[in-house]
Structure 1
Amino acid sequence: MTEQPWTALFEETLRAHVPLLPPDQPITADLALADHGLDSLATVSLLLDLEEAFLVTIPDHLLTESTFATPDGLWSVIDSLLVKDPVE
């Protein structure tokens, strides 16, 4: 099994918002989140939880349907907002 590029915190936060995903089913990069219970209300809740968990603010222009379509799309946005250690 291939390791996912995201953190355990991301997966834990995401899993709490996809109620139709069985607990033993892995979250794959291309999992259709809407098919697993991520509706508009859950999307807003997930957004707030991710912003709090990762101490980021997702800009309005990134709040698109495609951002929240799959874990891979969502993680790529979160990852791009994370403060990276500067190389000295």
Structure 2
Amino acid sequence: MAHVPWNAKFEDVLRQGLPGLGKDKEPAADVPMEAYGLDSMALIGIVGALESVFRVSLAGQVVIPVHTLTAGQLWGILSAALQPAWDESRPSAAGRRTRDLGPWAVA
């Protein structure tokens, strides 16, 4: 069995949202999830479940096209959202806290 970069909660969410994954298959980190049945509606469900389970917002973070998105990329997006931004404590010019959006917010 190959090592995966994510934890069991993440994989549970993937299994619930990907009809082609099944109990006996392990998602590959570098295979587009479209191979497991991912479409735009399934992605909405998976993102919503990840936000609920991990108590984080992924709004505007998942900008990779659905047909090329991999489990490894989605785990990277989630991991970045779970980490505090390097400049989170620095006030912006308007006096509000700033947060780095990471490379996934760049089109």
TM-score under structure 1 length normalisation: 0.81
2:2 matched to which residue of 1?
2
Residue 83 of structure 1, CA deviation: 4.2
Q: Higher helix share goes to which structure?
A: 1
Whether the 8 Å CA contact 1:66–1:73 is kept in 2: the answer is no
Q: Stretches of 4+ moved more than 4 A in 1?
A: none
Relative contact order (C-alpha < 8 Å, sep 6+): which is higher?
1
| Alignment RMSD | 1.9
CA distance in 2 between partners of 1:17 and 1:44 (Å): 9
In structure 2, runs of 5+ residues without a counterpart are 85-107
Aligned positions, number: 83
Structure index of larger Rg = 2
Is the 2:17–2:42 contact (alpha carbons within 8 Å) kept by the matching residues of 1? yes
Aligned amino acid, residue 13 of structure 2: T
Letter in 1 for 2:81: L
Q: Distance in 2 between matches of 1:27 and 1:42?
A: 15
Taking structure 2 as the reference length, the TM-score comes to 0.68
Aligned to 1:53: 53
Residue deviations 1:30-83, cap 9 Å, x none? 1221121111111111110000000100131x2213587111000001111114
Quote the sequence identity (%): 31
